[in-house]
């Protein structure tokens, strides 16, 4: 396994992700920010945080597959959510968990969530960029 997720005893433990990812490998895969679009570039789940989070993670899984990687190779994700608040954070987690269930995986990698005023186009409310490490 190239990425080991850790909860350090001296750091506050949160339920939505691990605080540390220890990566050992020789290839690093950087994914551009993934948004909630289909293969034709159509926005799915306009203004719906949960729906967009789910589709973003499904797109991340597809991008990883194209690079010969899998979700367990993820070392870090950065999440951008328009007008982030506690309610939207909960909706994001719900969408992420739906994607995880559909893929039969867990998304517990270290993550940073950033509230932004807007994304590339109206209706987009979630964008996720990711880094994976491969053997």
Q: What is the 3 state secondary structure string of the chain? A: CCEEEECCCCCCCCCCCCCEEEECCCEEEEEEEECCECCCCCECCCCCHHHHHHHHHHHHHHHHHHCCCCHHHEEEEEEEEECCCHHHHHHHHHHHHHHHHHHCCCCCCCEEEEEECCCCCCCCCEEEEEEEEEC
Q: What is the pTM of this model?
A: 0.86
pLDDT score of 3: 77
Q: Which CATH number fits the domain that encloses residue 85? A: 3.30.1330.40
Residue range(s) defining the domain that contains residue 64: 3-134
The pLDDT score that the predictor gives to residue 105 is 96
Residue by residue, pLDDT tens for the chain (135 residues) are: 677 776 667 777 767 666 666 768 788 888 999 999 999 999 999 999 999 999 999 999 999 999 999 999 999 999 999 999 999 999 999 999 999 999 999 998 889 999 999 999 999 999 999 999 988
Question: What is the total count of domains within the chain?
Answer: 1
């Amino acid at each position: 396994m190239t990425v080991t997720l850790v909860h350090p005893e001296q750091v506050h433990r949160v339920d939505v992700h691990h605080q540390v990812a220890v990566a050992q490998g020789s290839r690093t895969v950087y994914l551009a920010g993934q948004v909630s679009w289909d293969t034709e570039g159509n926005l799915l789940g306009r203004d719906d945080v949960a729906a967009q989070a789910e589709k973003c993670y499904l797109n991340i899984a597809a991008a990883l597959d194209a690079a010969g990687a899998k979700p367990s190779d993820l070392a870090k994700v950065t999440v951008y959510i328009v007008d982030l608040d506690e309610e939207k954070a909960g909706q994001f987690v719900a969408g992420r968990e739906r994607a995880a269930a559909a893929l039969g995986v867990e998304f517990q990698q270290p993550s940073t969530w950033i509230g932004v005023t807007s994304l590339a186009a109206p209706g987009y409310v979630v964008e996720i960029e990711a880094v994976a490490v491969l053997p």
